[in-house]
Amino acid sequence: MRATLLALLLSPLLVLSTQAPSGRFHRKKPKRAEPAVSYVLICESRSAYAYHGHMCHGLNRCRSAVSRVSRAQAAGSGYLPCRICY
């Protein structure tokens, strides 16, 4: 009788100790897979010196053609990151 009474009294404690603790848990956001090659935009004028991540207002001033190239190719051609969008 004592054993069953003891088991009945301790069973809620055992259940609580095996469950996850209550409280707020932050779910980790799944990381987006980055593309193998990241592309940037460059202005094809002679005076252009920067590559851009998007159509920022620095690139809007371009009067020549705008091309999409890889970041490595832009850096290899001597372009620097734009001070506005990078």
Query: How far is it, in rounded angstroms, from Cα 86 to Cα 74?
Result: 14
Per-residue model confidence as pLDDT tens for the chain (86 residues): 666 655 656 666 555 555 555 556 667 777 666 556 689 999 999 999 999 988 888 888 899 999 999 999 999 999 999 998 87
Edge-first strand order for the sheet with 50-52 is: 66-70, 39-43, 50-52, 80-81
pTM equals 0.55
